[in-house]
Amino acid sequence: MGANQYYQSNISTLESEKMLLERKLKNYRLVRLIVFVLTLIGGYLAFGHLVMFASVLFVSIFLFLVIVAKYSDLKIESEIVKTKIQLNQFEINALNGNFSDFHSGEKYANPKHPFSSDLDLFKKNGVFAFLNRTTSELGEKRLVSMLLDGNENAKEVSNTIEILSKNIVWAIHFRAVALINSRENGKSKLLTSLPFHSFKTSSWMKIAKLLIPIIAFCSLILFNLDLISSGLFSLLILLTLVPSSIELKNTNAISNELSVVEERLKIFKDQMNSLNELSLLKKEEFVWIEVMLGAKPAEIKHEIDLLLKILNRFNTRNNLLLGMAFNCFLGWDIYQRIALEKWAQKNKGQVDIWENGLAKIEAIVSIAFVRYNHPETIYAKDSNNHSMSMKGMVHPLLAHAKSIENDFQLDASKQFMILTGPNMAGKSTYLRAVACAVMFANAGFPIFASEFSCPNVQLYTSMRTSDDLSENSSYFFAELSRLRMIMDAVESDQHVFVLLDEILKGTNSKDKEEGSYLFMEKMQRLGAKGIIATHDLSLCLLESKNEAFFTGHFDSIIKGNELTFDYKLKKGICQNMNASFLLKKMKLTD
């Protein structure tokens, strides 16, 4: 079953589940109303009979709480099903070339980065939106980092993507539970934002924790036995409130700090539960989960559950009457503060590992969807002889449209392709397709090609100098600065792979021709490799003078008054240019 067919089938199944859950919710609302009405009737009939009235009240409250709890569970289940339907539809849209449902990451755009601004990574319906299914800002940042910086353990990332792409039902659920909590609770802070230093308690608080219930309950007993006066009893009860009153400001601040991570705690709990279920399927395949998180998901879930319980107990004190009663007889605030300190001492060194591990898993889950949606993709093979081979390559954003496949190859003796061709023939798209393949390989992501082998290289591009610099001198300086950055990388003995598109546009033709020629000679001499696209056919003379250069071209086909393109890379130098034809066709010349 293909990806599109699977998602359509899944939506159909989930729609049936949604209808069933909606009927159940309706029934529970009706039952809740009936219980309420029966409680009023029973209370009225039993009024005046204390035992019967108390029994009716107890049974009614018990039934009501059971119904409310069940209704709440069904409500969450219904929201999960609705979210899964939405996520399946998002994937269908993506398969049809619409990635607008996913964050584009525009805030990560950086024109000074070695390649990101030239590849349309961070824009609406761009490459990042094509990849991104993360549900948290930290997960999104991790995916950005993988793309821009690559992964040292790219092979491990590839293996994990492959495993998760075979568990796509689980992956949809993993995303759904996080999205539900995010929508319901609003923006939350990361667990690493918790002020662990403020969770410390004084030794006197630990003594007070023991003394408060002893004093309170003993006072109550002695008062009921008429062994102490009401005045002394009141004094002793007020005394039990002193410790919590002294720490009230700090306790309120801590309670507020916990509240702002509540959403994150719920997401952690649900996703750790999902990861635990996944790891139990085939334990040996999912050791990577524990490696990334620094612990077993079940162990982390247990610790998160403990912190959520502490948070809920802090919330209980927000009721004034309950707060006073609990602090009088149980030293409630002090008890929670000590429990929180104990939790912090055990886990504060692990929270950062948990957060970053979950973020990495989010990023990998994103790419698992891409792999599932495009089973024709492959993973990079290592190249030990410094050669590079790409066959059947397409740009990721054009994969849905059955775009024209092309190849690129550098053997050990070749370093640069000089690419020529007329306007709109496909040169820039080809350069970006090659760049995406290298970028994905460095990250360990699946590549849109039938074959790909490449050594570990650093990608640099100069394809789109900032176009807000209108003066020629400023534009030219910006371009020179870009080329200087690339040359710095080459001169520092990095393994650099360079993609250049019509460099030195900001100067006259003669300067451009001589400058480009000398620049490319130096790049080759220093060991760089790559592709330069140009309209200057004179640059192709490098092929006849140095075997490290070779030529390739895209062509246009002019038949009568029609201009067409086949978008296929060919060997040699382009002989047909179309600028004059286009000018005439658009009636810009006679």
Q: What is the pLDDT of residue 213?
A: 85
CA 456 to the chain's CA centroid: 25
Q: What is the pLDDT of residue 141?
A: 94
Q: What is the pLDDT of residue 217?
A: 86
For residue 256, how many other CB atoms are within 10 A of its CB? 10
Kindly give the parts of the chain with pLDDT less than 70. 183-188, 281-283, 383-385, 465-474, 506-508, 558, 560, 576-590
Considering the domain 381-585, what is its CATH architecture?
3-Layer(aba) Sandwich (3.40)
On the 0-12 / 13-18 / 19+ scale of CB atoms within 10 A, 105 is: buried
Q: What is the pLDDT of residue 466?
A: 54
By the 8 A CB rule, do 143 and 366 touch?
yes
Q: What is the pLDDT of residue 423?
A: 80
Q: What is the pLDDT of residue 470?
A: 42
Q: Which residues of 355-367 are buried (b: 16+ CB within 10 A; e: fewer)?
A: bbbbbbbbbbbbb
The Cα–Cα gap between 549 and 413 comes to 9
Report the amino acid identity of residue 469.
L
Q: What is the pLDDT of residue 72?
A: 84
**Model-level pTM greater than 0.75?**
yes
* Residues linked to residue 458 through DSSP beta bridges, in sequence order: 496
Q: What is the pLDDT of residue 488?
A: 93
Q: Which two tokens stand for residue 585?
A: 């066709």
Q: What is the pLDDT of residue 451?
A: 93
